[in-house]
Amino acid sequence: MNILRSSVFRSICRVETMILILMLMMPVVIVFMLIGSYSILHFLLPSAAIFTTLRMLMVISLANHLAEASAASPYFNESKNWFLMQCVIEAVALMLNVSMIVLKNTFMRIPHTRYFLMIGGYLVYLVAQQLFTCFAKDRLLRGFCAVWYFCGDDPVQGKGVRVTFLLQIMSSILYAALVAFITLFPSLTMIAYGLVGAAVFMLLLVQFRITMHARKTALLLAALSE
Amino acid sequence: MSAANAVSITLMIAGIPMLIPALMPLFRKQYDRRVFLIAASAVLHLVATLYAISIGISACNPDATGIGWLMFMLSFLIGLCAGVTLLCAAFCESDGKIRFGNRKTPIPVLMLGCVILPVLLASIGQHFYPEINLVQYGFSLSILLTYLCFRREAGVQIETKAADLELRQAKLLTEQIQPHFIFNVLMSIQNLCYQDADAAADCIAQFAGYLRGNMAALTADNLIPFEAELEHIRTYEALEHACTDQPFVLEYEIAADDFEIPALTVQPIVENAIKHGALSRRDGAGKALLKTERIGQCIKITVSDNGNVSENLTAQQKTHQSIGLKNVENRLAVQCGGTLNISLNPDGAKVTILIPEKGAISRADNYR
């Protein structure tokens, strides 16, 4: 067990923090567009595309570190595979996004394609993405638990990990359901935005907790190696 | 032609020179699969761009059915294929295999960023200015950045390989200076000192020459003339004769000697042939043969012996290579594109080295 390499977990912690900072931008952009004079639908597609791409690159970087950490626990390898599956889904969505922009700008109107992509494809993408995220984070948290146990940490501490996972599941369901609702019923109300805000806040909370778990793992390993 | 159309065509034409660096490797003889994939992507994109330019110039309306629509869709699909090819290049590993999971090396995040971000930003630009075709230009930029990123990565790989080669040379030195061999030579010299002082002095000179040859190999970055390696083999043979009472013969059939090889590649094989081949015969008829010949565009070096090879060897044992021979094989491959083949028969072992005649594939070319 190549458990003494705390540097790998420090890298994981760093990437998780960067993802958290990136996710912090999302509610800021939404609020800015709500209070500003810009049309939200005009800016939603490009900002979502940029956000997805940057997050995808971060997740791939995280997968590289998880591959390194897989020597410590096989859960990290499983987590890496689920994260990569999530990236594939996001890449396909991105490619469709770019294709849609090109097609739309050329033909100026593509009602059927657009309708299908927005209503059908987008919902499938959203559910699959949240499902894969849940699987990936579940394995990641189990991996952290395995390392803590190896380091002689109190097993009761695993309770915190279970809370994180429950929050993740709740936020995923809330986020997917609400975004689907907004997509299906574009005549939005401020309440719907508020609920989406709550879901995003929960996602941020989960991300923050995972960052803290990664930090704790790195500290435990550093202490053990000393 | 509208102003937006003119700007689009200008941007597309401006993107074409960006493809030139990625296309250049197609004109070279040696390239690996990643470079080929990037070049293939550039070719596909070039075709798509030319289609798009012709659509722009002829001002065909793609919205209408007919040739304009067909040309646009063709251009779009070719562009899509170019994008997929470029992504494949980003996921291609140095051994030429495209792997997503279970990779030997980390996924190149920077290269992926170079593939995706310019196209994405261009498509977002086009979202705000639908009249101007920015995606073609963005994709040209993607190909250029991906190619530059690949070159940078290849440079790092060359440095890693050079460090690895240095490590191998250091290991080689450790393998060459075998304590028991030194002990045997020194003991033989001690005996000779009592019997024949002149012979002992010659033996010391040869031993010094042998050690100097080994040391020189550590500092030799490039190939050395075969004559120098041959000289080292002769010194080793003389020392082996001085150290062992058992007779053996080393024959030379040198038909070609005007070529270069990596230092200490043939000598360890000759040493193996003598120690484990010729000297394994107890009847004193041990014989080893060093032969060089020119075959087509290659130099063939053969080292064979008539030692006892057990007939009971398993297939695995027959194909087993010692660390020393593995080291030689690796250095031959890295430094001059050579190959090493070993065959064990009941009447002896035979090692064959094949080197391209113009010696001559530089290390950098191997990884370009």
Question: How do residues B102-141 score in pLDDT, each as one tens digit?
Answer: 888 888 899 999 998 998 888 888 878 877 888 888 999 9
Contact B107 A60 (CB under 8 A): yes
- The pTM of the whole model exceeds 0.95: no
Q: How much is the pLDDT for B359?
A: 42
- Residue B361 pLDDT more than 50? no
Q: How much is the pLDDT for A1?
A: 44
Q: Which of A186-195, B146-155, B269-278 has the lowest mean pLDDT?
A: A186-195
Q: How much is the pLDDT for A60?
A: 92
List of chain B residues whose C-beta atoms are within 8 Å of the C-beta of residue A106: 62-63, 72
Q: CB contact, 8 Å: B264 with chain A?
A: no
To the nearest whole Å, the CA of B17 is away from the closest chain A CA by 23
To the nearest whole Å, the CA of B129 is away from the closest chain A CA by 9
Contact B116 A103 (CB under 8 A): no
Maximal C-alpha separation, chain B: 105
For residue B123, give the nearest of A61, A88, A98 by CB distance.
Answer: A98
* Chain A residues 197-226 within an 8 A CB cutoff of chain B: none
- Residue B10 pLDDT more than 50? yes
To the nearest whole Å, the CA of B136 is away from the closest chain A CA by 10
Residue of higher predicted confidence among B126 and A60: A60
Q: CB contact, 8 Å: B90 with chain A?
A: no
Where is B351: in which H helix or E strand?
Answer: strand B348-356
Residue of higher predicted confidence among A96 and B273: B273
To the nearest whole Å, the CA of B123 is away from the closest chain A CA by 6
List of chain A residues whose C-beta atoms are within 8 Å of the C-beta of residue B112: 57, 60
Residue of chain B with shortest Cα separation from A58: B109
CA–CA gap between residue B363 and residue B368 (Å, rounded): 9
Question: Among A7-16, A44-53, B220-229, B326-335, which range has the highest average pLDDT?
Answer: A7-16
Q: Which whole number is the average pLDDT over B358-365?
A: 40
Q: Which of A5-9, A183-187, B53-57, B239-243 has the lowest mean pLDDT?
A: A183-187
Closest CA to B127 of A1, A99, A149, A29: A99
Contact B112 A60 (CB under 8 A): yes
Closest CA to B289 of B349, B246, B228: B349
The one-letter code for the residue type at B124 is I
Q: Which long-range contacts (CB under 8 A, 24 or more apart) does B13-17 make?
A: B13/B53, B14/B137, B15/B49, B15/B136, B15/B137, B15/B139, B15/B140, B15/B141, B16/B46, B16/B49, B16/B140
* Chain A residues 104-143 within an 8 A CB cutoff of chain B: 104-108
Question: Among A147-156, A182-191, B282-291, which range has the highest average pLDDT?
Answer: B282-291
Q: CB contact, 8 Å: A170 with chain B?
A: no
CB contact set of B92 (below 8 Å; sequence gap of 6+):
B33, B34, B37, B98
Q: Which whole number is the average pLDDT over B312-335?
A: 66
- Residue B290 pLDDT more than 90? yes
DSSP one-letter string for B33-66: HHHHHHHHHHHHHHHHHHHHHHHHHHT--TTSSS
Residue of higher predicted confidence among B179 and A99: A99
Residues in chain A: 226
Q: CB contact, 8 Å: B123 with chain A?
A: yes
List of chain A residues whose C-beta atoms are within 8 Å of the C-beta of residue B49: none
Contact B126 A49 (CB under 8 A): no
Residue of higher predicted confidence among B169 and B284: B284
Q: Which whole number is the average pLDDT over B59-71?
A: 62
Count of other CB atoms within 10 angstroms of residue A53: 21
* Chain A residues 33-72 within an 8 A CB cutoff of chain B: 45-46, 49-50, 53, 56-57, 60-61, 63-64, 67
- Residue B198 pLDDT more than 70? yes
Residue of chain B with shortest Cα separation from A45: B124
Percent of chain B with pLDDT strictly greater than 70: 82
Residue of chain B with shortest Cα separation from A87: B100
Confidence of residue A130 (pLDDT cuts 50, 70, 90): confident
Percent of chain B with pLDDT strictly greater than 90: 10
The answer to whether the CB of A143 falls within 8 A of the CB of A149 is no
What does the radius of gyration of chain B's CA atoms come to, in whole angstroms? Answer: 30
List of chain A residues whose C-beta atoms are within 8 Å of the C-beta of residue B121: 50
Contact A102 B120 (CB under 8 A): no
- Residue B149 pLDDT more than 70? yes
- Residue B189 pLDDT more than 70? yes
Contact B76 A107 (CB under 8 A): no
Q: How much is the pLDDT for B349?
A: 87
Q: How much is the pLDDT for B212?
A: 79
To the nearest whole Å, the CA of B241 is away from the closest chain A CA by 50
CB contact set of B179 (below 8 Å; sequence gap of 6+):
none
Q: How much is the pLDDT for B367?
A: 28
List of chain B residues whose C-beta atoms are within 8 Å of the C-beta of residue A49: 120, 123-124
Chain centroid to Cα B244, Å, comes to: 39
CA–CA gap between residue A130 and residue A122 (Å, rounded): 12
Residue of higher predicted confidence among A135 and A195: A135
The answer to whether the CB of B202 falls within 8 A of the CB of B153 is no
Q: Which of A212-216, B161-165, B236-240, B351-355 has the lowest mean pLDDT?
A: B161-165
- Residue B158 pLDDT more than 70? yes
Calculate the average pLDDT of chain B.
79
List of chain B residues whose C-beta atoms are within 8 Å of the C-beta of residue A29: none
List of chain B residues whose C-beta atoms are within 8 Å of the C-beta of residue A64: 106-107, 109
Contact B120 A49 (CB under 8 A): yes
Confidence of residue A61 (pLDDT cuts 50, 70, 90): very high
Confidence of residue B146 (pLDDT cuts 50, 70, 90): very high
Q: CB contact, 8 Å: B155 with chain A?
A: no
Contact A94 B120 (CB under 8 A): yes
Confidence of residue B360 (pLDDT cuts 50, 70, 90): very low
Q: Which whole number is the average pLDDT over A153-158?
A: 66
Q: How much is the pLDDT for B365?
A: 38
Contact A94 B62 (CB under 8 A): no
Q: How much is the pLDDT for B246?
A: 83
Q: How much is the pLDDT for B57?
A: 73
- Report yes or no for ipTM above 0.85: no
Q: How much is the pLDDT for A135?
A: 93
Residues facing B349 on adjacent strands: B344
Q: Which whole number is the average pLDDT over A1-15?
A: 75
To the nearest whole Å, the CA of B283 is away from the closest chain A CA by 54
For residue A53, give the nearest of B76, B101, B117 by CB distance.
Answer: B117
Contact A60 B109 (CB under 8 A): yes
Closest CA to A141 of A65, A209, A41, A44: A209
What does the radius of gyration of chain A's CA atoms come to, in whole angstroms? Answer: 19
Q: For residue range A77-99, what is the model confidence (pLDDT) as tens digits? A: 899 999 999 888 888 877 777 77
Q: CB contact, 8 Å: B64 with chain A?
A: no
Maximal C-alpha separation, chain A: 65
The answer to whether the CB of A11 falls within 8 A of the CB of A65 is yes
List of chain B residues whose C-beta atoms are within 8 Å of the C-beta of residue A97: 123
Q: If you count residue pairs, one on A and one on B, with CB atoms under 8 Å apart, how many are there?
A: 66
Q: How much is the pLDDT for B362?
A: 38
Residue of higher predicted confidence among B317 and A170: A170
Q: How much is the pLDDT for B61?
A: 56
Q: Which whole number is the average pLDDT over B215-221?
A: 66
Mutate to test the interface with A, among B51, B116, B128 (most CBs of A within 10 A): B116
Q: CB contact, 8 Å: B109 with chain A?
A: yes
